[in-house]
Amino acid sequence: MPLTIPDIPPAKRKKKDPTCLEISPVFPATATAGWSSLPDDLVRRIADSFLATNDVDCYMDLRAVCPSWRAATDDPKTNTSDPRFCPRTWIVLDEVSQSDDMRILLNTDTGRFLRKKIPLLLDYYVVATSSGFFVLADRSPPHAARVFNPLTGYTLRFTVPMAPDVRVAFVGSWGRGKASSPLCLVLLGDLSCKLYTTVPDSEAVVSYDCQQEVYNFFQKAIVGGAYPHIAGLGFAPAFAELLDLLRSLHADFVKGTLFVFKMNTELGKVEPLQSISNFAIFIGHRRCLPVDATKFPGIEANCVYYTKHLGLSAHICKYNIKDKKVERISEAREFVKQDKQFVLVAHRPFTIIQLLCSYTINTPDSQLALQQMSEGVEASRSNSGDSDLDD
């Protein structure tokens, strides 16, 4: 039998209590007046909160809201070397890049991921990424260098060409405070064992000679990210002292002996550390970086994560600085070598530990160097063909 719906008497309307507060209706954002007339100091306070965490992309979004907010805040274009606008805490995770113009950026201080489409990358050769910057090269000779800030969208033009035997050390300011220079590009010449520095729109290149052993140490430390920013000329004696200290400790770079030091480049002193507090350090054969472990679930503080190679594969180990104990993260291998790169073969989705270790174990090849190598091979084949025809 079908169910019958009982008759329900109509509800009686209750009289309003004059003492009760009524909730105002919600108006759409377009109907809310006054946002553009917020006091300048309040707008700047909100903007500074983004800069405090180096979330420069959010700062740029705030400036794009309206002309009054833009006028109340500093324009990154007027001072490209201002550390507030530099992507100093960001890295580019190449392992999860999905296309030529798509990149995944990670703020190592806050743990925030940013998936960003960058069409500009298609107009240049991508040479390297350093300190959150992209180092690019013109597609036409002499392949002048460009430094691109993916968070502000601004590009700095350099006159110096990108030579195939020169690698990018880092992008940053030389010195500190009022004595600091504009944003400069620091390069390392593998054939000459020299360190080169140049600034935007300048044909001048300053070179520094290095001994082979010191140069090799610079190459591993600076290019690898152990010390990505040169702050004054005190870095030279500090590196020399660190090198002497490692010799005295019989540190074996091949076997991966672990020591943690604090470097004071202003005084040229190096001090050993027994703890790195809530930080964790990721070390690979190509790069290294520190992260705040409290911002990344699954990462243990006061530990060093590193990759250990076993022929054509590699796995991840964790070294506890306090207990001096080493343990393997997983029984299965995490990386397999294909050509020159170690590819993650762990089960997806990748953990943050696997992604950061992949960042340290690999460095993408320069697109310019690959193009020049390909052109050289084609020229060699062409010359070989001409010789055969002559014979």
Give the pLDDT mean for 216-232: 62
Q: What is the pLDDT of residue 155?
A: 93
Same domain? For 85 and 62 the reply is no
Last residue of a domain, one of 214, 231, 248: 231
> How confident is residue 5, by pLDDT bands cut at 50, 70 and 90?
very low
**The pairing of beta strand 144-148 with beta strand 325-328:** unpaired
Q: Give the residue carrying structure tokens 């983004």.
A: 50
C-alpha–C-alpha distance, residues 281 and 261, integer Å:
12
Q: What is the pLDDT of residue 274?
A: 87
Q: What is the pLDDT of residue 209?
A: 83
Six token digits for residue 155: 């590009």
Q: Give the residue carrying structure tokens 């152990």.
A: 226
**Whether pLDDT at 170 is above 80:** no
Q: What is the pLDDT of residue 163?
A: 80
Same domain? For 54 and 168 the reply is no
- Which residue segment(s) compose the domain that 69 sits in? 34-74
Same domain? For 59 and 98 the reply is no
367 domain residue, yes or no? no
Same domain? For 87 and 108 the reply is yes
Q: Which residues, in sequence order, are CB contacts of 80 under 8 Å at separation 6+?
A: 149, 154, 156, 182, 183, 200
238 domain residue, yes or no? no
Same domain? For 69 and 144 the reply is no
Six token digits for residue 140: 């036409």
Chain segment 40-99, per-residue pLDDT in tens: 999 999 999 999 999 999 999 999 999 999 999 999 988 887 889 999 899 998 755 556
Q: What is the pLDDT of residue 121?
A: 93
12 domain residue, yes or no? no
Same domain? For 47 and 153 the reply is no
DSSP 188-240: EETTTTEEEEE-TT----EEEE--HHHHHHHIIIIITTSS----STTHHHHHH
Residue 184's H or E segment, with its range, is: strand 183-189
345 domain residue, yes or no? no
Same domain? For 69 and 86 the reply is no
Six token digits for residue 218: 């610079």
Q: What is the pLDDT of residue 167?
A: 83
Q: What is the pLDDT of residue 207?
A: 86
**Whether pLDDT at 232 is above 50:** no
Q: How many domains does the chain have?
A: 2
Return the axis-axis angle of helices 40-52 and 56-63, rounded to nearest 10°: 160
364 domain residue, yes or no? no
283 domain residue, yes or no? no
Last residue of a domain, one of 211, 231, 251: 231
Q: What is the pLDDT of residue 32?
A: 46
pTM, two decimals, is: 0.79
Q: Which residue has the higher pLDDT, 255 or 341?
A: 341
7 domain residue, yes or no? no
